């Protein structure tokens, strides 16, 4: 089970490629690099908001961890990995502004502006 989950996360990571995409459609993956952890993040449009899923692992044999959150307009999700004593944490943040999802890497640089024309159904 662990190998299957890790393999799926790594396959999703591989499909995203190394180039930074300027836009990401719902369901497409984006690679994540957070300290010793690598993985992928994607979102789907649901009735109650954008369902964001981030899966991270510290290697192909490691047990992956998954973060799931549904974001409404103006909401954000932060994943933080502590570093060595005295070093700042590595923070990965996903921010929803209207119909746009911004993804920020630990460096604080905006790496993706994720837009969708999908309409939320009531």
Structural contact between residues 49 and 72, judged by C-beta atoms closer than 8 angstroms: yes
Q: Exposed, middle or buried: residue 5 (CB in 10 Å: 0-12, 13-18, 19+)?
A: middle
pLDDT score recorded for residue 33: 85
pLDDT above 90 as % of the chain: 32
**Quick one: average pLDDT of 54-72?**
93
* pLDDT at 7 (0 to 100): 45
Structure tokens at 39: 């993985």
Model confidence at 83, pLDDT cuts 50, 70, 90, reads confident
Determine the pLDDT at residue 98: 86
Please state, as a whole number, how many other Cβ atoms lie within 10 Å of the Cβ of residue 105.
18
Is the confidence at residue 71, as pLDDT, over 50?
yes
Band (20; pLDDT cuts 50, 70, 90): very low
The predicted structure's pLDDT at residue 101: 87
Task: Please tell me the predicted confidence (pLDDT) of residue 27.
Answer: 81
pLDDT beyond 80 at 9: no
């Amino acid at each position: 089970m662990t190998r299957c989950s890790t393999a799926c996360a790594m396959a999703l990571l591989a499909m995203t490629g190394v180039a930074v995409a300027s836009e990401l459609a719902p369901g497409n993956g984006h690679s994540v690099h957070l300290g010793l952890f690598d993985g992928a993040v994607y979102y789907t449009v649901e009735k109650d908001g954008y369902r964001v899923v981030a899966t991270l692992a510290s290697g192909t044999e490691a047990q992956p961890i998954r973060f799931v959150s549904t974001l409404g307009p103006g909401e954000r999700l932060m994943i933080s990995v502590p570093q060595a004593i005295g070093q700042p944490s590595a923070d990965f943040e996903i921010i929803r502004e209207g119909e746009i999802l911004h993804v920020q890497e630990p460096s604080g640089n905006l790496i993706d502006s994720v837009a969708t024309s999908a309409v939320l159904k009531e």
